[in-house]
Structure 1
Amino acid sequence: MMWCVKHSDGIWSLRVPMRDRALGYSLAYLITDDAGALHVVDPGTGSDSNELLLTDMVRSLGFRVHDIASITLTHYHPDHAGLANRLREATDALVALHAADVIAEHDIRRPEQRRSWARRYGRWGVPMEARAQLLETVSQRGARPALAVDLEIADGDVLPISGRRIVVVHLPGHSPGSIALRDDDLKLVMIGDHVLPTIYPAIGLGAAASSNPVRDYLRSLEKVAALDDHEVLPGHEETFRGLARRCVATAEHHLRRTREIASYASEPARTPWEMAQRLSWKGGWDSLTGMRLASALQQVVFHSRYLATAEGRDAVASGL
């Protein structure tokens, strides 16, 4: 297996192992600048072995660990951002994250989160045994170390990488502050988990209870599809081309869920738990546990909320 791939002059990717065996690894990106420094995008899951892997990679490229000047996160999820604190402490590098994900990352550790989710799961009809399992995932999320963020970035910002013009593209949906990083000179876009070559990211992880992540995500797909002439460097799997086509396929995948929920609209009102049990899931309903179960329930709520809007009804009716 090739753990390191060179994509362009001064840009490499590194496969960083993660705990999710199905995905296997995330992709960290290393970028040189014209001042002799190195910059990291999405360093990956935090562990001693991953820190050693990344530092060995840095040295193999002829750099020292202290040459790392910045760490940019496409979103705050731990399989992409978990190593950021360790790397920042070892290098004094600046850590950058979109402002919306700074808020989302802070919110998961608020003391009242467990009580809030307990009430929410009660309204959603979750049985007590399953509710206890789901609340344990809430506690685990809340126990993560806080991310140390030095720079809150926004749509249109240019990363502080000397000699390169890498622009932030805000793409809410997978998380509130998900971003892509666009290099128009090299025709590359580092897209995080927003669009992946063969699998489909979950929507709304870390979203506020009042938000509409399905709408946000579908609009973000339309926005980033304009970069179809760019090579896509994703957060998992492999580099690919044909971004516009993949955006269409990804939108259709998620709208199938909306249409599936719409097909039950004429039946008596059901709780999200009852509805989720009737829907199709990869591996089947009984395979869903922990974070996967929590995400499935949220998807039902988000898609139902989207279906209740004129935009959602139009999308379902048009068969897009």
Structure 2
Amino acid sequence: MPTNTEGHEGSGPWTDEVVEQAAPGVFRIPLPLPEDGLRAINVYVLRHGDRATLIDSGWSFGPGQQVLERGLAQLDLDLGQIDRVLVTHMHRDHYTLAIRLRSLLGTRVLIGAGERESIEAAVDGAGSGVEDPWLSRWGAHELRPLLAARPPRPTSEYGLPDEWIDAPTDFAVGDRTLRAVPTPGHTRGHLVFLDEQAGLLFAGDHVLPRITPSIGLEVPRDPLALAAFLESLQVVRQLPDLAVLPAHGALGARSHRRADELAEHHRLRLDATAEAVGGGATTVYEVARALTWTRHEKHFAELDAGNQYLAVAETAAHLAVLVRDGVLADGRADGVDTYRAAAAAPSAARGETN
């Protein structure tokens, strides 16, 4: 495995197996993901003497753990020298390898207290997908057979952490101080970790450099997760302008500019969502089908079942904000949520969210 100490200007894609020095004592190791369009997750190794702390851990499967072991070996470390894992949020690509490392080696696992309900649901076997009761409310009945055809994901990878983080709070990691800052939206308990002295923001999935994070993909679902996400972008905007160390994507982004870009993206999506309702779409599913998706402007039918589910869930999040802001009015017919333009709707009020 090559070691790149030249920062984000390295020649390979960000998903290549490499150890990249992000800052003195901080190293990025991208780990592969199984059956996931994101391809990889960045795990950050914070070295302090002959010990290390990880920020996020990866997905609990053999190839990911093996890449982590090879990366640590490049730093003259092994899994047994990891004292703890600070986890940004409960999604399996961030959390579940930490649970496996604890079972093997006793590694301590810490995550935000806001994730308690979702992790307890995951441990109990609850999750999103074909059994999601929201599918009926969204009018997305056609998704059920598509989601049912996918292989089930095991829930045994989940477990409770050793410590729930009541953020904001500080952690000593060798000579550096990390501050855990709540940034709900992607999930209700999402945290970012700030190293202000070094000018670093370990951003998890809150601020990603090339893509926009999914909103509120958790059980139980928060209908106003997008509102929380937009408020959390302002939390980042009020911090110093920092180098973004994202969970997915290359290094090099700055936190203020990228937070502004993400807020603008959602402003445009709110406009497009309102226009779709004005064009005759009345349910979440109909609105999602009327919009285009991804940076490549794909039609809904071009997405696979998993991404169609994400698209419908994100559409629901935008519709909820538009209802809150008085742009749309909602109702229900035969158990399905419906939407229409509100009388005398404020034309630009939703843009004030960010």
TM-score by length of 1: 0.88
The answer to whether residue 245 in structure 2 is matched with residue 245 in structure 1 is: no
Determine the structure 2 residue equivalent to 1:33. 48
Determine the structure 2 residue equivalent to 1:134. 147
Q: Distance in 2 between matches of 1:13 and 1:269?
A: 44
Q: Distance in 1 between matches of 2:31 and 2:234?
A: 30
Q: Distance in 2 between matches of 1:114 and 1:214?
A: 18
Determine the structure 2 residue equivalent to 1:316. 350
The answer to whether residue 62 in structure 2 is matched with residue 48 in structure 1 is: yes
Q: Is the 8 A contact 2:223 2:316 kept in 1?
A: no
Residue of 83, 86, 104 corresponding to 1:72: 86
Query: Where in structure 2 are the equivalents of 1:216-255 lying within 5 Å?
Result: 216-255=228-267
Deviations 1:262-304 (A, max 9, x none): 1244466712112211111232211223321211111111111
Q: C-alpha displacement at 1:73, in angstroms?
A: 1.0
The 1:165/1:147 distance shift into structure 2, 3 A limit, reads same
Tell me which protein shows more strand as a share of its residues.
Answer: 2
Determine the structure 1 residue equivalent to 2:175. 163
Q: C-alpha displacement at 1:188, in angstroms?
A: 0.8
The 1:25/1:210 distance shift into structure 2, 3 A limit, reads closer
Deviations 1:107-135 (A, max 9, x none): 245467689945432232223x5223335
The 1:114/1:31 distance shift into structure 2, 3 A limit, reads closer
SS at match of 1:205: coil
The 1:200/1:136 distance shift into structure 2, 3 A limit, reads same
Q: Is the 8 A contact 1:41 1:71 kept in 2?
A: yes
Q: Which stretch has the larger CA shift, 22-31 or 101-110?
A: 101-110
Q: Which stretch has the larger CA shift, 54-63 or 191-200?
A: 54-63
Q: Distance in 2 between matches of 1:141 and 1:216?
A: 28
SS at match of 1:82: helix
Residue of 164, 177, 183 corresponding to 1:152: 164
Q: Is the 8 A contact 1:166 1:182 kept in 2?
A: yes
Determine the structure 1 residue equivalent to 2:287. 275
Work out the number of aligned pairs and report it: 317
Q: Distance in 1 between matches of 2:353 and 2:61?
A: 45
Q: Distance in 1 between matches of 2:133 and 2:123?
A: 17
Residue of 59, 62, 77 corresponding to 2:73: 59
Q: Which stretch has the larger CA shift, 111-120 or 204-213?
A: 111-120
Determine the structure 2 residue equivalent to 1:263. 275
Q: Distance in 2 between matches of 1:158 and 1:115?
A: 36
- Cα root mean square deviation, aligned: 2.7
Q: Is the 8 A contact 2:127 2:219 kept in 1?
A: no
The answer to whether residue 322 in structure 2 is matched with residue 307 in structure 1 is: yes
Q: C-alpha displacement at 1:68, in angstroms?
A: 0.9
SS at match of 1:46: coil
Determine the structure 1 residue equivalent to 2:201. 189
Tell me which protein shows more helix as a share of its residues.
Answer: 1
Q: C-alpha displacement at 1:43, in angstroms?
A: 1.7
Q: C-alpha displacement at 1:6, in angstroms?
A: 1.0
The 1:20/1:239 distance shift into structure 2, 3 A limit, reads farther
Q: Is the 8 A contact 1:84 1:147 kept in 2?
A: no
Letter in 1 for 2:146: Q
Q: Is the 8 A contact 1:13 1:30 kept in 2?
A: yes
Letter in 2 for 1:64: D
The answer to whether residue 217 in structure 2 is matched with residue 205 in structure 1 is: yes
Determine the structure 1 residue equivalent to 2:29. 14
The 1:307/1:42 distance shift into structure 2, 3 A limit, reads same
Deviations 1:233-280 (A, max 9, x none): 110111124321111111111222211121244466712112211111
Q: Is the 8 A contact 1:108 1:142 kept in 2?
A: no
Q: C-alpha displacement at 1:47, in angstroms?
A: 1.6
Determine the structure 1 residue equivalent to 2:335. none
Residue of 288, 291, 294 corresponding to 2:303: 288
Q: Is the 8 A contact 2:55 2:86 kept in 1?
A: yes
Q: Is the 8 A contact 1:176 1:207 kept in 2?
A: no
Q: Which stretch has the larger CA shift, 22-31 or 186-195?
A: 22-31
Q: Is the 8 A contact 2:183 2:192 kept in 1?
A: yes
Letter in 2 for 1:103: E
Once the two structures are aligned, what percentage of the paired residues are identical? 25
TM-score by length of 2: 0.80
